[in-house]
Structure 1
């Protein structure tokens, strides 16, 4: 079983390395993500956000404009997921008292209180 695990781990690592070879170099100015126009000739979304962020929202912080105005519903959904996960973690990990009155475990059998 250990051999299978190691083979899967090595295979997955090799796949990740092979996939990373197709990524552009860091800081490459000619990478697709840094172009103002797509290969099809249309303007990229990032250039629209950079040029029109202040005009659309009248806020100096461009990150706030993108998260709150342009992607408001998406951000709200992400925050809802994080809040739900936090509540679930709290409910699962909280300590429960067995008996609220005297903090002793409940007894079963003939001597149990009614």
Structure 2
């Protein structure tokens, strides 16, 4: 059986806010091609921060990925701009936002 290709691979990332506040340590996840992944956890568990790290939206919150790697289809993406990620199909839509109200 051939191994499944990963669309998204997050490997041991660490996120720090304001250069001092460690909010994520050692977070890893893998999304195989053709599959769906869910990020679950209680309030303050790091779900939003993980998604912001993947979509490279941490800078707006004074955060940064300081360790680990994030790959999309085998390409390291942690240094790409959010616009570059959107062009590659990575988009984060915040809960409760009515960005696409005309579609509902």
TM-score calculated relative to the size of structure 1? 0.24
TM-score calculated relative to the size of structure 2? 0.25
More helix by share: 1
More strand by share: 2
